[in-house]
Amino acid sequence: MSTSLSIIVPTYNEEGNVVLLYEQILEVLKQEGVENFELIYVNDGSSDGSFSVIKKLSQNDLRVKYISFSRNFGHQHALKAGLDHALGDAVISMDADLQHPPQLIPEMLKRWKEGAQVVYTVRAEEKGISWFKKITSKGFYWLINKMSEYPIVDGAADFRLLDKKVVAEIKRYPEKELFFRGMIAAIGFRQEAMVFTPNKRHSGQTKYSVKKMASFAIAGITSSSAKPLYFSIYLGSFLAFLAFLYGIYAICISVFTDDAITGWTSIVASVVFIGGIQLLMIGIIGVYLGKIFKESKNRPHYIVDETNL
């Protein structure tokens, strides 16, 4: 039997992109002579016409599958649903907005056939991406790589091919808060990178608001590492050292001068400063506590409303 391929596409309000992506994938796979494939659209609670467009496609082409969620669960959960259901010997995940060019698929397949078990992609310096996204993304990768044990390449995208062996391992991860880039970086296997230049988003707006990006970043960092919890130890020691120096200074003032009751300003300033630091540290602990809470509730990753799988 010929090898089979699954392509999974998280889709959230992408009615203007669904068909074009299908056509491009079809053309690329035809040229490659790949006939045995499934294209799984994971409809992540779209409120536009995405789902009806996907359904129509699936009626005309039985290789088009869909999993439709009961509400919006988020990009990473949509990826998880795709991986849970994909049957291919190789599984490729890509965005619906055509920023991940289907024209790269042949090269991915070639590397997989040559033995790579993970082919991940890295964005080259991009023209199609706003300066804001560039800066926040640079900062995010810098921070996460300072924290986590397994580095994630700067600009890594959720456009990748996984061998079915890797998919099987990923499916065993029980965690509720998902961050695939971190999980893949730490999973091992033979990995290869491909650099690509993303296209401009074909239709519609980015689905990652600043708020979603921030919570994605916090989730990513705190699910790859427990290091932020140790901040308080370093910062606490540093502040204790400063307090010690200041104490010596205060003693000198009272012993050698007559200005003993100086500056309430410095007291207020240090109280406010230390208060701020404490709140920050409590916040960090809170994030991890929230994670434990989420894991202990053990709710499903996503709820499927309709599927043709």
Q: Which does 15 bind (CB under 5 to 8 A by kind): ligand UDP, Mg ion, none?
A: none
Nearest approach in angstroms of CB 72 to ligand UDP is: 5
Q: What residues between 39 and 68 interact with ligand UDP by CB under 6 A?
A: 44
- Comparison of 111 and 120: residue with beta carbon closer to ligand UDP: 120
Tokens of 65: 């599958």
CB distance 21 to 96 below 8 Å: yes
Q: Does 96 contact ligand UDP by CB under 6 A?
A: yes
CB distance 71 to 301 below 8 Å: no
Q: Does 74 contact ligand UDP by CB under 6 A?
A: yes
Instruction: Please identify which residue in 68, 97, 178, 185 interacts with Mg ion, judged by CB under 5 A.
Output: 97
Interacting residues of 224 by C-beta distance below 8 A, sequence separation 6+:
144, 147, 148, 149, 150, 152, 179, 182, 186
Strand, coil or helix: what is 237?
helix
Q: What residues between 187 and 226 interact with Mg ion by CB under 5 A?
A: 201
Contacting range for Mg ion; rule: CB under 5 A; set: 53-61, 63-71, 99-107, 281-289: 99-107
Strands 90-93 and 5-11: parallel
| CB atoms inside a 10 Å sphere around CB 16 | 18
- Comparison of 11 and 222: residue with beta carbon closer to ligand UDP: 11
Q: Roughly how many angstroms between the first and final C-alpha of the chain, as a whole number?
A: 21
Residues that bind Mg ion (CB under 5 A): 95, 97, 99, 201
Residues that bind ligand UDP (CB under 6 A): 10-12, 14, 44, 72, 74-75, 78, 95-97, 99, 201, 206-208
